[in-house]
Structure 1
Amino acid sequence: MTEPKTLYLVTGMPAVGKTTFAEQLASRLSACLVDIDSATESIVQAAMNRITGNPDDRDSDVFKETFRAPIYETLFTLARANLVHTDVVLTGPFTKELHNPNWPAEVQVKVGRSCRVKCVFLHCSAELRKDRLEARGNPRDRAKLETWETHLQYYDTESFPAYPHFAVDTGEPDAFENAVSRGLID
């Protein structure tokens, strides 16, 4: 019998290094990468431009109420389609799910495939995340930087997930390789 595939959920606050880490993990595993920005950004930009005139808005209630659920559903649909063939590394913030101890089991039901779900929670200091936001210069980060204290309160940046997870401090040198050596990959 073939072993079930693994769905790696790479989560964390904005600018913690999710995309970079997920790319390294997918490469190491020869897995499918499903990144929130790659999978949905152009559609969201077109719609937000039409709705609000601001294609870079990712912080307003309009964006969150309109797009959060369908964006995540899209990610899980892509994961489901690929888990038949290969392991999947899926990355997105998933900040509301932090306090749900049953989230990994709910994800397994959501993808509708027999798979292992492994949650990887990335974290680093708020100062480093702010530096990274400033350095990447992405227009969609402007509102976060302009209202930094509000941003920190919204994302509850001191909380670690209530569900079982593998924590990685991306502020540490060689964070990815250290995670691998600590058992991230079975």
Structure 2
Amino acid sequence: MSSPRPRLTRGESMHQQIARHIRNEIAAGVRRDGDVLPSSREMAAEWETSAFTITAAMKVLEAEGFIESKSRSKRVVRVPNQERRGPVRLPKPRVVLIGGYAGSGKTELGRILARATGWPMLDKDTLTRPIVEAALEILGQSPNDRESETYLRLVRPREYEALSGAAEENVQCGNSVIVTAPFIAEFQDAQWLERARARFTDLGATLSVVWVYCDPDTMNVYIRRRGAARDTAKLADWSGYLSRIDTEARPLTDHVVINNCTSARPLQDQAEALVKSLMGLELD
């Protein structure tokens, strides 16, 4: 059964958004115990905000025990129990498809789940971006194009075929797997979802669908901060981009919603609950 839709939140404090994002990076293993964070001035430039806002975010993380201030200019990540756990082997492999709009936090969630379970994580951009960029250039398009008919008709379907093939190969080896991609069109296609579920069932695996929700304001902050060339078109016409998507849409199948808004529970807490749910479902 799907989870209730999270309530849209707007106007959340910038320092809370930054604190949440860094907290997610720590949980995902992007920032490790002992790492020194950039200076307030450097982080202010990175996040396009003021040093005062960065200081406020650091105070939140320090109060939560995630960082330690060595001096006014040196802050260190403190998570001594961050080690990756050993793989969880299930009687039946589980395939977890994690979707969401750009900047929602689906990759961070995938990394947290992978660290908690030891299952391989397959991220669409990581697996396919170099080949996609080369293919687009050969086809006479910008390597950062993600909007044209050429990309949508010729390239995008091949990305998802490659991703599905890699997931199936893991399942055939008896491995559970975590797959992260937008899955925007796929999760709104009941026939695609039915075929995917049937295919993995035939391979002896159980399919779980997860949707990561994040409000548009926070997505914008995250997208601007990561500075990926493929997001240029979105940021150049943000209102136009929002008019073309439906942030209230949800997968047309049983699914779990993870709320990555600043006001929601920490992403790591929701990930831990999701892992327990996956284990419980497996034992039923």
Q: TM-score, normalised by structure 1?
A: 0.90
Aligned residue pairs total: 185
- 1:46 alignment partner AA: A
3-state DSSP class of the match of 1:108?
helix
Q: For residue 10 of structure 1, what is the aligned residue in structure 2?
A: 98
CA distance in 2, matches of 1:61, 1:149: 21
8 Å Cα contact 1:9-1:90 kept in structure 2: yes
Q: Does 1:98 align with 2:187?
A: yes
CA distance in 2, matches of 1:86, 1:98: 23
Q: For residue 227 of structure 2, what is the aligned residue in structure 1?
A: 137
Q: Does 1:44 align with 2:132?
A: yes
Q: For residue 31 of structure 1, what is the aligned residue in structure 2?
A: 119
3-state DSSP class of the match of 2:278?
coil
3-state DSSP class of the match of 1:128?
helix
Query: Higher RCO, 1 or 2 (CA under 8 Å, sep at least 6)?
Result: 1
* Offset, 1:155: 2.4
Deviates more, 1:51-60 or 1:139-148: 51-60
> Aligned ranges for residues 82-121 of structure 1 at < 5 Å?
82-84=170-172, 85-101=174-190, 103-111=192-200, 112-121=202-211
Identity within the alignment, %:
25
3-state DSSP class of the match of 1:54?
coil
CA distance in 2, matches of 1:177, 1:91: 19
CA distance in 2, matches of 1:130, 1:184: 31
CA distance in 1, matches of 2:147, 2:161: 19
CA distance in 1, matches of 2:165, 2:271: 27
Q: For residue 41 of structure 2, what is the aligned residue in structure 1?
A: none
CA distance in 2, matches of 1:103, 1:180: 28
Q: For residue 15 of structure 2, what is the aligned residue in structure 1?
A: none
- 2:113 alignment partner AA: L
Q: Does 1:151 align with 2:151?
A: no
Deviates more, 1:15-24 or 1:106-115: 106-115
CA distance in 2, matches of 1:76, 1:121: 18
Q: For residue 278 of structure 2, what is the aligned residue in structure 1?
A: 185
3-state DSSP class of the match of 1:164?
coil
* Offset, 1:26: 1.3
8 Å Cα contact 2:95-2:205 kept in structure 1: yes
* Offset, 1:101: 4.3
Q: Does 1:127 align with 2:217?
A: yes
Q: For residue 69 of structure 1, what is the aligned residue in structure 2?
A: 157
- 2:269 alignment partner AA: E
* Offset, 1:89: 0.1
- 1:21 alignment partner AA: L
Q: Could you list the runs of 5+ residues in structure 1 that have no partner in the other structure?
A: none
CA distance in 1, matches of 2:141, 2:194: 38
* Offset, 1:5: 0.3
* Offset, 1:147: 1.9
- Over residues 65-88 of structure 1, what are the superposed CA-to-partner deviations in whole Å (9 max), with x where a residue is unaligned? 111211111111000100132110
Q: TM-score, normalised by structure 2?
A: 0.61
- Over residues 9-42 of structure 1, what are the superposed CA-to-partner deviations in whole Å (9 max), with x where a residue is unaligned? 0011111111111111112111011110111000
8 Å Cα contact 2:97-2:179 kept in structure 1: yes
Deviates more, 1:43-52 or 1:98-107: 98-107
Cα RMSD of the aligned pairs, angstroms, is 1.9
Q: Could you list the runs of 5+ residues in structure 2 that have no partner in the other structure?
A: 1-89, 280-284
CA distance in 2, matches of 1:86, 1:56: 33
3-state DSSP class of the match of 2:113?
helix
